[in-house]
Amino acid sequence: MSRDQPTYLIPKRFIVVGLCAVAFAICYADRSNIAVAIVYMAMDFGWSSTTQGLVLSAFFVGYLTTQILGGALADKFGGKPVLAIAAATRVLFTLLTPKASEFGLNPLIICRICVGIGEGALFPGVQSLIAKWIPAQERSRAVAVVTGSSLIGAVVGLPLATWLGSGVYGWECIFYLFGTIGVFWSLLWQIYGSSLPDQYEGISQEEIKLIEGIGKFEDEENHVANAEDGVSQQEGVRDQHSNAEDESTPLLVDNKKNDSKLTNDIPWMLILSKKEVWALLITYFCNSWGYFIMLTWLPTYYIDHFGIDIKKLGYFAVIPYAVQGVMGFVVGTIGDHMIHKVKFRVITIRRIAQSIGSFGVATFLLLAAYCASSPFEGIILITIGMGLNTFTLAGVSVNQFDIAPKYAGIIYGLGNTLGVIPGIFGVALTGWILDVTGRNWNIIWDIAASLYFSSALIFLAWAGGEVIID
C-alpha cells in the first residue's frame, strides 16, 4: 500500500492525538471519581479525614514510581507499548478496587498504588508521542487538546460518579464502569495506535514530510483550519538548523539513530544544570500542590464548608472542570497565534500565560476561602480561578518543547515526578490538618496560594524560550 495514497480522510497524527486525549479523559475521570467515591466510602467504613487522605494519596505513591521511567521507556521502545501496558495496569486495579476495600484498608491502598503505577507511565509516554508525531506548528494545540480533553473526563466523571454512588448499586459501580471503559480504549489503541509515523499503515508521504518539518504546511480539508496558527516552537528555532533532521523535532527523522542517542547518552547533568529546566521543575511542584488538593478534596470542601447535599455534589464540583475544559481548547491556540501571527517572543508568551494561570488561581482561591458567604459565591470564585489556571497550558505545560525538544519526554517525566510529591504528602497532610484543626479549610488554601505565588515568581525569573539542550 503506497503511502502517497492515504487510506483515510483523517490525518493519522489526529487519530493518535485523539486516542491520547481519550486516554487522558479516562484517567482524569478516575482521579476525580475517587474524590466523590471517598465521601461514600468514608461513610460506609467510618474513616477519619486522616484515613481518607491516606487512601487518596496512595494513588500518587504509585504514580511517582513511573514518571521518569515512563518517559525513558517511551523514548526507547515507543509510546504504543508503554501506553498499552500502562492502560492495562490501570484498568485491572481499577476494577479490583471495590473488592480490595472489602478486605481492609491495606489491600485498598495497595490497589490504589497500582492504579497510580499504570497512570504514571501514561503521561510522559503521551508527551513523547507528541514530540514524535506532531509537527512544531501544531504542538501547543495538541498539548492543549489532550490536556483539555482530560478535563472533560472530570466533567463527565464527577456527576456520573455522584449519580452512581447515590444509586441502588452504590459507589462500587463507579470503579466497575470506568474500568470497563478503559478496556474498550485499550482495544482501540491496539488497533489504531502507533509509536512512530513511518510505522503507521496507510499514512501518506506528505504527512510524514509535514511531521518531519520538510513538507509544505497547508490546510487539511475537513480538519483544523489554518494550522499555521498552531505553533509551540519559536520560529527562530528553525533558523538554527540547516537540515530537516534537526529542524523541529529531530526524534522524527531517523528513529534508530535518535533512539540510540536518547537512551544511551541522555545528558542528565546538562539537563539538571540549566536554570530553565529548574524553572519548569519547581513550577510543576508548586502548581501540583494546589491542583491535587482541589482534585481530591474539593468535593469534601463543598460538603464541609458550604453544606452542599451529597446527591448534588457532582453537579457543583463539575462546574470548574467544565470551564477548564472549554478554556483548554482555547488557550493553546491563543498562545500560538500570539507567537506566530502577532510575533511575540516565545518566552514573553510563556511568562504572561504562566503568570495569569498561577496568580489568577491563587487570588481567587483566597477570595473563595475568606470572602464567599454562600455556596454560589464560593463555586463562582473557585471556577474563575481554575479557569484562569488553564493559561498555564501555554506556559509551563509546553515549555519543555521550547528549551529541549529532543528530551521533552524526559523533562516532562522529571517535572511530573516532582509534581507528584505534593499528591503524596500534600493530599495526606490535608486530611491530618483537617482533623487536628477542627476542619479549618483556610489553612489548606493559604498553603496552596502561597505555592502558586512563589512558582509564578520563579518562572518569571528563570524560564527560557529558546533551545538550550540540543
**What is the per-residue pLDDT across 116-154, written as a single tens digit (0 to 9) for each?**
999 988 878 888 888 888 887 787 778 778 877 877 888
The per-residue pLDDT for 2 is 44
Task: Summarize pLDDT for 76-90 with one digit per residue, the tens.
Answer: 888 899 999 999 999
- pLDDT surpassing 80 at residue 409: no
The per-residue pLDDT for 26 is 93
The larger pLDDT score, comparing residue 416 to residue 115, is at 115
Task: Summarize pLDDT for 228-247 with one digit per residue, the tens.
Answer: 333 334 333 333 333 323 33
Task: Summarize pLDDT for 12-24 with one digit per residue, the tens.
Answer: 888 999 999 999 9
Query: pTM (2 decimals)?
Result: 0.77
The per-residue pLDDT for 108 is 96
Task: Summarize pLDDT for 165-224 with one digit per residue, the tens.
Answer: 988 789 999 999 999 999 999 999 999 988 888 888 878 888 888 877 744 444 443 333
Is 353:399 a contact under the CB 8 Å cutoff? no
Pick the CATH number of 12-200+265-462 from 3.90.1300.10, 1.10.220.110, 3.90.320.10, 1.20.1250.20: 1.20.1250.20
Domain boundaries, the chain: 12-200+265-462
Q: What angle do CA 397, 33, 398 make, to 5 degrees?
A: 5
The winner for highest mean pLDDT among 71-75, 268-272, 355-359 is 355-359
Question: Average pLDDT over the chain, rounded to whole?
Answer: 83
The larger pLDDT score, comparing residue 73 to residue 359, is at 359
The winner for highest mean pLDDT among 42-56, 227-241, 314-328 is 42-56
The per-residue pLDDT for 246 is 32
Confidence of residue 264 (pLDDT cuts 50, 70, 90): low
Span of 50-54, 137-141, 173-177, 249-253 with lowest mean pLDDT: 249-253
